[in-house]
Amino acid sequence: MNPLSSADVAPEPSSPQLVVRTTLLGTVLDEHPAALLRLLPRTAPLAWVRRGDGLVAWGEVARVETRGPTRFADAEAAWAALRSRAVVRDDVDLPGTGPVAFGSFAFEEGSEQRSVLVVPRVVVGRRGRTAWITTITTSQTSAGSAPTLAPVPTLAHVLEDVEPVTAPGTVTYSQGAVADEAWTDAVEQAVQQIRDGRLDKVVMARDVQARTEAPIDPRWLLTRLATAYTGCWTFSVDGMVGATPELLVRSEKGLVTSRVLAGTIRRTGGEEADLARAAKLAHSSKDLEEHEYAVASVAEALAPFCQSLNVPETPFVLHLPNVLHLASDVTGVLCTRGTGSLAAQAGSASPTATAGLVGPSGLVGPGSTSTSAGSPTVTPPSSLTLAAALHPTAAVCGTPTPVANDLIRALEGMDRARYAGPVGWVGGDGDGEWGIALRSASLDPEDPHSARLFAGCGVVAASDPAAELAETEAKLEPMRLALGAEPVGSD
Ligand SMILES: C=C(O[C@H]1C=CC=C(C(=O)O)[C@@H]1O)C(=O)O
């Protein structure tokens, strides 16, 4: 059993002291992909779940709200202050045990939408056969006296308080910020700008409004998403709900992973026809081009933090129930004390500098990006720092990033709010997992009958606006299914 420990960093007088206790859960959770989600209360559920593993949480002992260009840095500083003073007893010591904060960040620095980090009161987690429960309280004790650990609830106690999940009833959909025709016009203009050479790729998104007969119970959506989209990360943070297939970054004990997606084709439902479509996607020059930009943006953003990086040369085809995607898993080893970053190594022209680093064909790989700031990193960056550095990737913004971002502002006609922004969790040691908030909806805090669904797609020179509109419809399917009534099976 780990002793009570408090990090030896100077206390930050303005932030409360967290008292955190993690213990093993004696009760075995069943194998259903939504088993963890069944523990959640109706109000403000927090979740990050995939294939039955992950974290669910509720209650709120601290909340950080940030905005604007410093939204990531401010959240990071607040979390650093909280975790540095935390008193922690962790009997399990796995990723996701001990102190945890859930976050959801606005896509755009000029967004009206707040970005949030929430420190929950109770977290239940599972990794394989191990399940645990963490309680977090804030200490009210005066300096010098020992903080009291909260009693740990049993699973039976937790389940006693769970209200039944309710269905949303009939759902009606209506146009979002931009009508379909105006949206395809905007895509047409984007294609023209690409053909004129102003940029290589831009991701254009749209929204759809859903209105439900009964108030939306987020657990209805989460359970259905986790059951049908088992390969995706089902998330819920501060009203942002979805099942994303795209992992922006996972940072665990010095290793980083990012699942990059770009390039899409709708599934037909028939196995043989889908295999033919997968082959078509894998050879589509338009989709491969879209994908290469996205992989390059991730590799470039990670290079300054990594001593080695593996960038697959060719994507694989990821099968989801609604669509097929081109996918690449980029992995890396973070710099530690004494090991310089890839970017720095590339600058020094070391023969081993780019070992294991394969740039996507035809694009500038990170190993040759000598302009990246490449000073050796001594403290491994937190997962939130990495997410901030990666955001926005070319899977949700475009190439070059600033030009694409400007074009999105000029043409898209809506505030993306937290759609396509990082969503996930960060732990007490900075490790964590952040997805890109895709295949998602934002629940209206003022009106429980209302949700805003989002979808976007990568536009390149060869894009056809009508086909891009159809692609957004395919990407809206998971959330339409989540709001539906018919039974769902797993993929
Ligand atoms: C922007 C979205 O998807 C991105 C992720 C995968 C494939 C994409 C594409 O093929 O366009 C997009 O880059 C979305 O789902 O809203």
What would the pLDDT profile of 330-343 be if each residue is shown by its tens digit?
999 999 866 667 76
C-alpha of residue 396 to centroid of ligand 1, in Å: 6
Q: Where are the alpha helices (DSSP H) in 20-154?
A: 71-85
- pLDDT per position as a tens digit, 424-452: 999 999 999 999 999 999 999 999 999 99
The three-class DSSP label of residue 222 is helix
**Closest C-alpha to ligand 1, atom 2:** 456
Please tell me which residue, 2 or 128, carries the higher pLDDT value: 128
The three-class DSSP label of residue 155 is helix
For residues 456 and 417, is the Cβ–Cβ distance under 8 A? no
Ligand 1, residue 261: give the atom nearest the CA.
6
Please tell me which residue, 379 or 239, carries the higher pLDDT value: 239
Closest CA to 309 of 247, 354, 350: 354
Structure tokens at 60: 């709120």
- pLDDT confidence bin for 485, thresholds 50/70/90: confident
For residues 479 and 217, is the Cβ–Cβ distance under 8 A? no
Res 161: pLDDT: 79
The yes-or-no verdict on residue 29 having pLDDT over 50 is yes
- pLDDT per position as a tens digit, 140-153: 655 556 667 667 77
What's the rounded Cα separation, in Å, for the pair 345 and 308? 10
For residues 388 and 72, is the Cβ–Cβ distance under 8 A? yes
To test the pocket of ligand 1, the residue of 203, 325, 418 to mutate (highest count of ligand atoms within 8 Å of its CB) is 203
Q: Which amino acid is at 147?
A: P
pLDDT averaged over the chain? Answer: 89
Res 366: pLDDT: 29
Domains: count for the chain: 1
Res 28: pLDDT: 74
What's the rounded Cα separation, in Å, for the pair 63 and 238? 10
- pLDDT per position as a tens digit, 98-130: 999 999 999 999 999 999 999 999 999 999 999
Give residue 283's domain range.
Answer: 171-214+263-417+440-483
Res 340: pLDDT: 67
**Closest C-alpha to ligand 1, atom 10:** 263
Structure tokens at 145: 């006296």
The yes-or-no verdict on residue 10 having pLDDT over 80 is no
Q: Give the CATH number, domain containing residue 399.
A: 3.60.120.10
To test the pocket of ligand 1, the residue of 107, 194, 204, 261 to mutate (highest count of ligand atoms within 8 Å of its CB) is 261
| Residues 6 or more apart whose Cβ sits within 8 Å of residue 307 | 332, 333, 334, 335, 336, 339, 340, 341, 342, 345
Q: Where are the alpha helices (DSSP H) in 334-459?
A: 342-347, 383-390, 401-411
Res 152: pLDDT: 78
Other CB atoms within 10 A of residue 337 CB: 9
For residues 47 and 37, is the Cβ–Cβ distance under 8 A? yes
The yes-or-no verdict on residue 193 having pLDDT over 80 is yes
Residue 471 within any structural domain of the chain: yes
The three-class DSSP label of residue 478 is helix
The yes-or-no verdict on residue 405 having pLDDT over 50 is yes
For residues 341 and 354, is the Cβ–Cβ distance under 8 A? no
Res 353: pLDDT: 27
How many residues does the structure list for the chain? 491
Residue 249 within any structural domain of the chain: no
For residues 174 and 405, is the Cβ–Cβ distance under 8 A? no
Residue 203 within any structural domain of the chain: yes
Percent of the chain at pLDDT exceeding 90: 80
C-alpha of residue 51 to centroid of ligand 1, in Å: 22
**Closest C-alpha to ligand 1, atom 7:** 262
What's the rounded Cα separation, in Å, for the pair 385 and 401? 18
Ligand 1, residue 396: give the atom nearest the CA.
1
Q: What is the Cα 325 distance to its own chain's centre?
A: 17
The yes-or-no verdict on residue 260 having pLDDT over 90 is yes
Residue 100 within any structural domain of the chain: no
Residue 163 within any structural domain of the chain: no
Residue 337 within any structural domain of the chain: yes
C-alpha of residue 48 to centroid of ligand 1, in Å: 20
- pLDDT confidence bin for 137, thresholds 50/70/90: very high
- pLDDT per position as a tens digit, 16-28: 899 999 999 987 7
Is the alpha carbon torsion for 366, 367, 369, 373 positive or negative? positive
Query: Which residues surround ligand 1 with Cβ inside 6 Å?
Result: 203, 205, 246, 261-264, 290, 325, 395-396, 438-439, 455-458, 475
- pLDDT per position as a tens digit, 338-370: 666 776 666 543 322 222 333 332 222 222 232
Res 441: pLDDT: 98
Structure tokens at 434: 């952040």
What's the rounded Cα separation, in Å, for the pair 209 and 193? 29
Looking from the CA of 82 toward its CB, the CA atoms found within 13 Å total: 29
Give this prediction's pTM: 0.90
The yes-or-no verdict on residue 68 having pLDDT over 70 is yes
Residue 489 within any structural domain of the chain: no
To test the pocket of ligand 1, the residue of 287, 323, 414, 438 to mutate (highest count of ligand atoms within 8 Å of its CB) is 438
Average pLDDT over residues 173-195: 98
Average pLDDT over residues 61-82: 97
Res 486: pLDDT: 83
Residue 382 within any structural domain of the chain: yes
**Closest C-alpha to ligand 1, atom 8:** 262
| Residues 6 or more apart whose Cβ sits within 8 Å of residue 222 | 34, 37, 40, 45, 47, 49, 234, 236, 241, 482
